[in-house]
A and B are shown apart, each in its own frame.
Chain A
Amino acid sequence: MMLAAHAGDRSAYEQLLREIAPAVRVVVRRRFASFGMATHDAEDVVQDTLLAVHLKRQTWRTTDPLGPWLWTIARNKLVDHLRRRGRRVEVPIEDFAETLSAPEERPGADAADVERHLALLPEKQRAVLKAVAVDGASIGDTARHMGMTAGAVRVALHRAFAGLAARLRADD
């Protein structure tokens, strides 16, 4: 499937990411739990991992097994996250857990880190990212709507992801 993604097959690639996400989520949550940490920001690690998988997909070779590659990235992102958390002052949230644990509409689908950095991206990149990702518009529609060329939309989208990853990394 990663092969198809390399060949530019968008739907196969999206399918692959959709399968990776829950697998990573399960493992990260289990890790969080085993460290005695609340799992509410496990989704940050999931999203960070997906971004890295996407931005670093050229480091995977068609002859390599996908598993070790994926899990090494996920582990690195988990370690980064724990390191960052270690330096932050954490307000114990357990006391509030009962009031906070309202049933989620889409369990484990929301995360704070990406959202927070999204707000700091350049205006145009944020608009393109929102149109394509949140509203599900095609590249062509977004281009028409924003008065940009399709190429410029692609560049803005790519820069938005690269910028997000850089901001997440610098966040310590």
Chain B
Amino acid sequence: MKTEDLLRGLAADTRTGPGLGSGLALALCAGLAGTALLFAATLAVRANFAALLLDPRILLKFAVTLSLAGAAAALALRLSRPGAAARPAARLLLVPLLVLAIGVGTELARTPERSWMPGLVGQYAVYCVLLIPLMAAPVLGAVLLALRRGAPGHPAWAGAAAGLLAGGLGAACYALHCTDDSPLFVLAWYGLAIGAVTLAGALLGRRLLAW
């Protein structure tokens, strides 16, 4: 086919969709709706939740997971736009890490050493590691679908950012249910679960986000 003809054809194709950012926002709504259904079907919000919201250890879980999701969303968008610098968005990932570091530091400073191990091991670590990826799955699917309209230079990295985003939101959702409140638990098990979702995102992204 002549390039000339291709050009003419391309110009005639005037269908435009939403921008990448609004596409991602729509996908997040759809994914979170799926997660909410899953949550309602399998889990319940922990007892006395409203009263617990003043507890800094509970707030820490949401601060870490939601700031992670926000930073990952910015990063995923940057990685999906040709020519956009990803570094500033990658630096945003330091925010959740810093918040978590402060939480862990405070925990270590303020609680006796003998409570550290029980806090770290927690009661429901296995549930945590299984349920966070489950809660993250609808979001990951929707986000990857939205990012297929992007053009990442490194599809696996964009997929990993999508995984971080989904993992962060999945973990925030699980935190509504989770009764293991030690920041050490969050560091170990939330970290492991979010890492697994990120890995899944990278593997899927390598296939799905290539263009």
Task: Please name the residue on chain B nearest to A155 by beta carbon.
Answer: B15
With a CB–CB cut-off of 8 A, which chain B residues contact A158? 13, 15
Task: Please name the residue on chain B nearest to A16 by beta carbon.
Answer: B11
In the assembled complex, the Cα of A58 lies from the Cα of B16 at a distance in Å of 8
Residue A136 at the chain B interface, CB threshold 8 Å? yes
Partner of A157, one of B2, B6, B12, B81: B12
With a CB–CB cut-off of 8 A, which chain B residues contact A91? none
Residue A146 at the chain B interface, CB threshold 8 Å? no
With a CB–CB cut-off of 8 A, which chain B residues contact A17? 7, 10-11
Q: Known contacts being A14-B8, A17-B10, is A114 close to B1, with CB within 8 Å?
A: yes
Whether A54 contacts B10 by the Cβ 8 Å rule is: yes
With a CB–CB cut-off of 8 A, which chain A residues contact B23? 58
Task: Please name the residue on chain A nearest to B147 by beta carbon.
Answer: A59
Q: Known contacts being A157-B12, A169-B211, is A56 close to B82, with CB within 8 Å?
A: yes
Majority secondary structure of chain A interface residues (helix, strand, loop or mixed): helix
Task: Please name the residue on chain A nearest to B18 by beta carbon.
Answer: A58
CB distance from A163 to the nearest CB of B (A): 12
With a CB–CB cut-off of 8 A, which chain B residues contact A73? 82, 151
Residue B177 at the chain A interface, CB threshold 8 Å? no
Whether B15 contacts A68 by the Cβ 8 Å rule is: no
With a CB–CB cut-off of 8 A, which chain B residues contact A69? 81-83
With a CB–CB cut-off of 8 A, which chain B residues contact A106? 2, 4
Task: Please name the residue on chain B nearest to A11 by beta carbon.
Answer: B11
Q: Give the number of residues in B that approach A within 8 Å (Cβ atoms).
A: 32
Residue A64 at the chain B interface, CB threshold 8 Å? yes
With a CB–CB cut-off of 8 A, which chain A residues contact B150? 56, 59
With a CB–CB cut-off of 8 A, which chain B residues contact A139? 12
Whether B81 contacts A110 by the Cβ 8 Å rule is: no
In the assembled complex, the Cα of A14 lies from the Cα of B11 at a distance in Å of 5
With a CB–CB cut-off of 8 A, which chain B residues contact A167? none
With a CB–CB cut-off of 8 A, which chain B residues contact A61? 19, 81
Task: Please name the residue on chain A nearest to B17 by beta carbon.
Answer: A58
With a CB–CB cut-off of 8 A, which chain B residues contact A169? 210-211
Partner of A114, one of B6, B15, B149, B153: B6
Residue A133 at the chain B interface, CB threshold 8 Å? yes
Please encode chain A, from 105 to 119, with 1 for each CB lying within 8 Å of some chain B CB and 0 for all others. 010111100110010
Residue A78 at the chain B interface, CB threshold 8 Å? no
Whether A52 contacts B13 by the Cβ 8 Å rule is: no
Task: Please name the residue on chain B nearest to A129 by beta carbon.
Answer: B9
